[in-house]
Structure 1
């Protein structure tokens, strides 16, 4: 920081002169330079902001004229040495200086003016050199980050390290899309409301330092130090350089995923990789990104079925971005909130907070239907499924449940979703596992071996032996219920079951045989369902 008039007077080189303060005007103002001269008129030599050292002859002869000349030239004050001169200042000199807004200090002992000027100028030059060196380091750092195409968080982190202050990047809707590492959770508490009161927004503003990001007429965000910084000037300079790097990043990445979606995906990735483990920190960032607080959060995955990837990776990427946008828009339009992340091709993971926790099943069913309708508008998407992992009270636990939701989505995609709006683990179970394995040659061979006799049954009986066996296994061997279901008499049913038993060569009442046959039938049905799509 620049030296003030008061700090100069406090220097040992000045204190040796036994200073007496006759006027304390401009005491806390920073000086630009120290000038030593006994000339009566210094107006042509001063530029403003100087502290003048003099032996006082001109001041003693015409105090008002001398002091007015200094004041008009922009000087801050005068230090007069009278210790070795037969000079007496007029009694009203202090009052004149006070009236003209100048500091006036008298030294009653002899001092070396060169000692004072050296001490002050050394410090001024050192601080100026430090500022130049800091400015150069800032320039080199952000230029290097731009060349390396650093992430939003990387640029924000660099600014925070330079300032030793927390830094937040927000978008125009006041969502905190990137925050510096280690930021305290309480600084992100109720972010949107507090940000609207920050500098430039009027009202009862927060004592923050804020810099717009993007061209003045097309700003798309703000960089914020969410507290009163130690050095406002240095903070503003760093934020401006960081904002320029962010603007360049935005231009490079403008055809990729949106700013907020990058931030949401980054938060989910940070939790999955263990970079953030404290629930309070995760919750603060998630809420600053728009996720509402609720009693329980649902890990969910939306998986689409579409043709294989093309030879154009850019087109595939844009379709995935469009798919992510469609999912996020549908969830938001339904009144819910969430964090969204692209997990794989045609697969979006999300942490879902429902708007009404009192009717969860109804809300999920409605959301599943809307998602199925909306995402099919994305080019190439034919069908989709919504899969849910176990609900969790904490966001970190919900993020951990995304892997289970992804597994359920994969299994559900292998089934024929039919009219189901969403899937949980209880909805896929063994049938889902077999659907995933249906293309395995060993699985197919097992099903053919188990059911060969009924698969190639050429009898004209209605229903067929395969249909009778399917219903028998579905009813867990309840023959009375089976006869009623097939509208057959019991003697006729027993005769059909005996024929099936003999053809297959197994005991239909044996539990292991029933399980083996039921699994084989599931494999055949899954393959038939895939062929019919």
Structure 2
């Protein structure tokens, strides 16, 4: 592993067979030749027949088989117990008191190992078991220390990356360097977001495309993201999933990516909150123009020639979840900010109420206001078309939530433009609540009488007038009254068009119109009455959408 200590090779039985002390015993492998590379976890000396029930697996057992070496049954029971317990291998020393091979015991052992698969080695000369255990344990402890050292190095590398504010690409590149192979960062849909590192087979840099899993094996990988919010997966196609060292690198890299994303979002959230607070202060009139420019400089906002206030009003309909609408509002804000930044050196955003947010755009000196706003709206619609299903007439970011844009007067000062946010909000709300021609954005001049009613909607005198005009219709008597009145006014009193639009027979329409006139106490044929009812109806619709 590049850049890390690599003295962490797994200790195997074959390595222990190469020890000088073991070679002095003239070792002879009786069986298990194919498993000599089994990893060894510990080294034990045992001469009791029941030791197999006490081991935990992975041990190298040294034994003289004293007391049962002359019995094939007992010796086989001893070896079978070791194999059943998961021992890595057994070294059996069979010599007599003079140090020569014990012929009878050797013959017994050769017979006892038949049918067993565990590596079993006969030692034909006397050795010092203590030296074997010391050497073996020295290797094993060294291996453990090497693993701890590598774990420490990996931890320090990724901790430093996070402390230095490294982005996702730097973390992926570091991981590829440590693993000496390609590394891919995918999203949850297996789309490659980032890639780095050479293909060990070709030496070429990893491409942005996802290699084929043609062999059907699972790739080594780690999920990226905090619990409950996984957003990606870090994949190393040429890493063995059973390699603990490489998997440790992937695990720490995934953690570093999660922390990097969280830090970036926290920083973005802090900046967004600071800018939103600035816009709120501007709207409240709490700052002089000099103070506003000074605070803008502190937030890193460059001066602009023209400042334009606009408000985006999102309308989900009565059947929508309010919480879901708020989440979609946040997504929409990010979309609008991203779409506006290439065209405006200053972009401030703040939520006004649920489903409504304001933006203050500082345009470049050469920008035409209408051209710039049209391009911003087009950019947002383009992003929405690529990312969500449109199921509303003016669908935008948020999966079918319709939005309407109101624009206030452009000004050459921050305070002047912020003062126009209220007008932009009224325009957006009015355009969304009433039928009007479909435009990318609306100004006060585009909503005409509706705009006037919107400006006066909170005036108690207008409320008194509208309630007197609509009377029982406001309380649902008759239940179809408001809808029929809106149809009648929309079609200019043309009864044939009203019947067709309302799916009513002429007789049914006449009966309902008569009942409606009775409820209102006016004649619908009177032009002044229709004008008054139209204003009252506009007020009622604005009140409902508020």
Query: Scaled by the length of structure 2, what TM-score is found?
Result: 0.45
